[in-house]
Amino acid sequence: MKHTKFIYLLLFGLLSNLAIAQTKTNPAVMKDFMDKRFGMFIHWGPVSLRGTEIGWSRDKQVEKSDYDNLYKEFDPTLFNADAIVKTAKDAGMKYLTITARHHDGFCLWPSKFTEYDIAHTPYKKDIVGALNEACKKQGIKFCIYYSVLDWYHPDYPIHSSASQTIDPKADMGKYIIYMKNQLKELITNYDPYMLWFDGQWEKPWTDEMGRDLYSYLKGLKPDVIINNRLGKEFAAMENKKIDHSKMVGDYDTPEQTVGRLNMDTPWESCFTICNQWAWKPNDKMKSLKECLAILSKTAGGNGNLLLNVGPMPDGRIEARQITRLKEIGQWLKINGEAVYGNLGGPYQPTDAYATTRKGNKLFVHVLKTDAGAISLKNITGRKPLKAYVLGGDKVSVEPGTSDFKINLPKTQSGALQYVIAIEMDGDIEKTAVID
């Protein structure tokens, strides 16, 4: 009997791996996603009424009974999906991801499978649906965040971030059916471009469950993009070097850190514009310089940036955050050529510069603008022909035997970061990474 059970488990694992291999997202779809480079993340829910962190403050800063009843007060009357999507578009963002369901289990759409949702709030209106429609109107790709853990649901075995105690009455099998029903509902109703999973690190969730769910979702929508947080192999906040062959999903997800330069496996770093994911009163906001450095280093590492905002309880994004996003958008109007549709590298990003490339153009993102020059190793078989600041003047480049020197314009000294385009005498997209 034990021998038979072992064979069954082995076959299940092999079939799950085979299903993953057969249903990986079309490379053309993944290229389209990675070409976009910049998206908006939105963490929002009834917890904004307390100004504490979404999910994580439940049973900690906010008593469980209080947290779980906040939805009865949630009435964001100033929520305007068109205005939020316009803010994303003005920032130069190409896709938007909303926390349809975070770790607290509350659903921002009217779900047939729970009453813990937006339909049972004073507001009642479908927030996920409104954002989806606004994205379609404004040409922004709509994406959905969904946590595989749910501390609120009785059948999920853990009920609090403060305790990892397993509830013996919970039924993970029933919970997975509940999840699949909700995810089918989301795909059917909103046709998301991408699904952003989370919460897979807790013990009740296994890679086998992740592979099964990945295959299930691909059966519903073959070209839906799925991040790698259906499995345990992900870079996370430690920016770990992972085994990409063990990854369950289409791309890696470093968090609050710029991912490693990788020309083979797609990745997306998620960052908060302030400190907290959900809205917090008077939270410290990143400077424009910090935001642009993150964007350039991410593109330079061949990754995407998902920058998070947390709307206030009334549904609006803070005015100061909107201003910061507009400033990023203004920078991208001049320098977007060096971000969208580019490859990262071939040089490793540093605190002084990052590089991107397209065709015969090398784009040098100058982060340390008070420097006098930047020296880069020569690209084998290629020579620089001319250089200029995007939207600005010509720049002199001095070739050498092993490297070439870019003389930074004195007029840009101490200014906000900028980009120098260097036209080479041939294509450099296939150039290997230069350490």
Contacts of 309 (CB under 8 A, 6+ apart): 40, 41, 42, 273, 317, 318, 321, 325
Say whether pLDDT at 429 is over 50.
Answer: yes
Say whether pLDDT at 6 is over 80.
Answer: no
Task: Lowest mean pLDDT of 14-28, 133-147, 319-333, name the range.
Answer: 14-28
Contacts of 400 (CB under 8 A, 6+ apart): 375, 378
* Contact (Cβ atoms closer than 8 angstroms) between residue 121 and residue 128: no
As given in the structure block, the two tokens for residue 385 are 């022909």
What are 78-127's pLDDT values in tens digits? Answer: 999 999 999 999 999 999 999 999 999 999 999 999 999 999 999 999 99
Dist CA 175 CA 153 (whole Å): 8
Mean pLDDT of 181-203: 98
Dist CA 146 CA 104 (whole Å): 11
Average pLDDT, the chain: 95
Mean pLDDT of 181-185: 99
Say whether pLDDT at 8 is over 50.
Answer: no
As given in the structure block, the two tokens for residue 200 are 């897979």
* Contact (Cβ atoms closer than 8 angstroms) between residue 275 and residue 284: yes
Percentage of the chain with pLDDT > 70?
95
Mean pLDDT of 300-320: 99
Task: Lowest mean pLDDT of 97-111, 231-245, 284-298, 389-403, name the range.
Answer: 231-245
Is beta strand 38-42 parallel, antiparallel or unpaired with respect to 384-389?
A: unpaired
Dist CA 19 CA 328 (whole Å): 41
Say whether pLDDT at 16 is over 60.
Answer: no
pLDDT of res. 13: 47
CATH number assigned to the domain covering 24-338: 3.20.20.80
What are 367-417's pLDDT values in tens digits? Answer: 999 999 999 999 999 999 999 999 999 999 999 999 999 999 999 999 999
Residue 240 banded pLDDT, cuts 50, 70, 90:
confident
Say whether pLDDT at 174 is over 90.
Answer: yes
Dist CA 343 CA 359 (whole Å): 9
Say whether pLDDT at 209 is over 80.
Answer: yes
Q: Within 13 Å of residue 199, how many CA atoms lie on the same side as its CB?
A: 26
- Tell whether omega for the bond before 346 is within 30 degrees of 0, i.e. cis: yes
For the whole model, what pTM was predicted? 0.94
Domain ranges of the chain: 24-338, 343-424
Dist CA 351 CA 258 (whole Å): 12
pLDDT of res. 24: 81
Say whether pLDDT at 248 is over 90.
Answer: yes
Contacts of 206 (CB under 8 A, 6+ apart): none
Residue for token pair 């070739």: 399
Terminal Cα distance for the chain, rounded: 55
Mean pLDDT of 42-66: 98
Is the domain spanning 343-424 CATH 2.60.40.1180? The answer is yes
| Residue 20 CA: distances (Å) to CA of 15, 247, 387 | 9, 10, 45
pLDDT of res. 400: 95
pLDDT of res. 23: 56
As given in the structure block, the two tokens for residue 317 are 């994004």
Neighbours of 223 (CB within 10 A): 12
- Higher model confidence: residue 6 or residue 275? 275
